[in-house]
Chain A
Amino acid sequence: MKWKKYLSLTRAGILEALQYRLGLFVMVIGNLIYLIIVYFLWRAIYASAGTDVVNGMTFSDTLIYLVLATALFAFMEMYIVWEMGRSIQTGAITLTLLKPMSYRSYSFWNCAGGVIVQFFCTFLPTFLVVLLVTKGAIPLGINLLYFAVSVILSVSINFSIDLFVGTICMYTESIWGINIMKQVVVLLLSGATIPLAFFPEPLKTIAYCLPFQSIYNAPLSLLLTANPQPSVIAETLGMQLVWSIVTMGFSRLFWQVSLRRITVNGG
C-alpha cells in the first residue's frame, strides 16, 4: 500500500498533462520545425565537409543523435525549476511541505505523470519516425535494453540537477535567470546541441568530467552502438549510476540545509 500514494500522484500528473492538449499539439509542431531545421542544417554541413565520416560519425549517426537528444530533452523537461521557483515566490510551497511526504518524492512522483505522457507523445513517435526514415541505422538488439536502463538513470540525474537548481531559488528568487543558465549549460555540455564527439580537445575532456553528459550522451551512445564492448557498457552505466547517486546526495543535502532558512511570502 506504500506505493498507492505515489501512484495516485502520478495519475494526477498524467491527467494534468492531458488537460493541455493544445499545448501538447503546439509542442509537437515546435519540435517538428526544430527537427526540419536540424536535418537541413546538418545535411548542408556534411555536404560541405566533403567526407562521409567526421569524427567517427556519419550524417545519419549525427542526425539520429541530435533528433533523439531533442526528443529526450522534450520528454525529460519537467519545468521543476519554474514550478519550485513559483511556489517559493507565491508561498504555495508551504502546502506541499505540510504533506505527509517528503518534498522530493512529492515532486518526483507528480512530475512522473508528465514524463509518462511526454514519453508517449514525443519520444516514442520521434523514435519510430527516425527508425523508419533511417532504415536500420539504429541497431535493434540488446542495445535497446541498455538504452532503457540508461534513460532511467538519465531521468534520475536530470531530476536531481533540477531539484538542486530549483533550491537555489530559495536564496535569490531570480527564477528566470537561474533557469536559463541551467538550460544553457545542460544543453551545451550534455551534447544535445552538438554531439560531444565534435568538441575540440580540452572542452571534450571537461564535458566528459561533468555530470551533464550522462543525461543525453550516455544513453544515445549506448543506443547507437550495435555490439558494444562489455567494458564500455559497464563504464557508461557505472558512470551514470555514480552521477545519479552523487547528484541525488548533493541535491538532498542542499535542500535540507536550505529548508531551515526558508522564508515564505505570506501564502
Chain B
Amino acid sequence: MHRGLRFYFCIYRKILAQDLKSKMSYRADFIISTIGMICTNISGFLSFWILFQNFPSVGGWSYYEMLFLYGFSLVAMTPVQCLLDNNWSLRYQVFSGDFVKYCFRPMNLFFYYQSEVFDVKGLGQMVFGIGTLIYAWVHLELACTAWMVLKLVVYLVSASLVMAALQNAAAASCFWIENSFYLLDLVMRFKDYAKYPMTIFNPVFRFVFTFVLPIAFIAYYPSLVILRPEAVPLLSWLSPLIAILLFYLSYKIWMKGAAGYSGTGS
C-alpha cells in the first residue's frame, strides 16, 4: 500500500490522540515512570561526577567531553524511546495472536504497529539530555553557530537511526525465536555502553564495537564531528549513511518477519 506522507501524518495524529487519552487515565503510572526515568539519568550523571572527583580525565577525555557524549546518547535515544516503544510488546502480541489485527489494515504495517504507542516519559529523558548537552557545550566553549547546530541535529538523527535499527532487529527476532526479551534487553544495555569514547579500547574491540556490534555509532562517531572538529575520522562523516542503511535493513527484517507471520489460529 502506498499512500502519501500527508495521509500518514494525519493518521498518526489521530492514533496519538487516542493513545494519550488512554494514558491519561493512568496518571500515577505516568508520574512514577517519569520519576524513574529521571532517577536513571541522575544516577548516570552522578556516576560521572563521582568518577571525576577521583580522576582528572579518562584516556584523554575530560569531564565535560564525557558529559557531552552522555547527553548526546540520551537525546539520541529519545526517538526510539518515544516512537518505537511498542517493540517491547511485540513478542507478547505475536505469541498471543493479537498481532494479526495489524495485518489487516490498509497501510504500512510497521508504521501502524509503532504508531499505536507513544511513550511520553521519553520526553523527560530528552529534556535531561539536552540540559546535559548544553551544560557541557558551554563549559567546553564550543562555538554556537547555525552550522554547528545543524551538524548536531543531523548527527543526532543518525545516531537515533542506529539505535532504532538495533532495537527493531532485536524485537523482530521474536518472529523466529522464543524469548526474544533477552536480545531486546541486551540492545537496551548498548545504550549505556555507548557513552564511552572508543579510544579507550584496544584495536580488536574498537573493530568489534564499530563493525560487529555498532555501539560506536550511537554516540561516539557522530559526536566527534562536534566535539573534535579538527580531526574527524572518515567513519564519523559516513555515519549518517551507515545509519540509514542499518535502519533500512532492520525495517526489512521486521517486515519480513511480519509478512511470514501466520497467526496462532485463535
Contact = CB atoms under 8 A, between A and B. Distances in A.
Interface string B36-77: 110110010011001101111111100000000000000000
A203 B49 CA distance: 12
Contacts of B60: 48
Contacts of B202: 40
B35 interface: yes
Interface stretch (B4-12, B26-34, B106-114, B251-259): B26-34
Contact of A47 (B32, B59, B179): B59
Interface in A6-62: 20, 22-23, 26-27, 29-30, 33-34, 36-37, 40-41, 43-45, 47-49, 54-55
B200 A40 contact: yes
Given A26-B186, A34-B189, A178-B32, A43 B53 contact: no
B28 A174 contact: yes
B50 A194 contact: yes
Give the size category of B's interface with A.
35 or more
Contacts of B58: 41, 44-45, 48
Contacts of A20: 179, 182
A264 interface: no
Contacts of B54: 49, 54-55, 198
Contacts of A229: none
Interface string A177-193: 11111001101100001
A203 B179 CA distance: 40
B33 A41 contact: no
Give the size category of A's interface with B.
35 or more
Given A174-B28, A198-B54, A200-B53, A30 B186 contact: yes
A177 B35 CA distance: 7
Contact of B40 (A178, A184, A198): A184
A37 B32 CA distance: 31
Contact of B182 (A26, A173, A194, A203): A26
A49 B50 CA distance: 14
Contacts of A193: 43, 47
B205 interface: yes
B50 A181 contact: no
B56 A48 contact: yes
Contacts of A250: none
Contacts of B35: 177, 181
A211 to B, nearest CB: 17
B39 A40 contact: no
Contacts of B51: 45, 194, 198
22 contacts: A26-B183, A26-B186, A36-B205, A40-B200, A41-B200, A44-B59, A44-B199, A49-B54, A54-B54, A173-B26, A173-B28, A174-B26, A174-B29, A176-B33, A177-B29, A177-B32, A177-B36, A177-B37, A179-B36, A184-B40, A184-B43, A198-B51
Interface of B: 26, 28-29, 32-37, 39-40, 43, 46-47, 50-51, 53-60, 177-179, 181-183, 185-186, 189, 193, 196, 199-202, 205, 213
Per CB-CB distance, the 10 closest pairs between chain A and chain B, nearest first, are: A44-B59, A177-B32, A177-B33, A177-B36, A44-B200, A174-B29, A26-B182, A180-B36, A174-B32, A23-B182
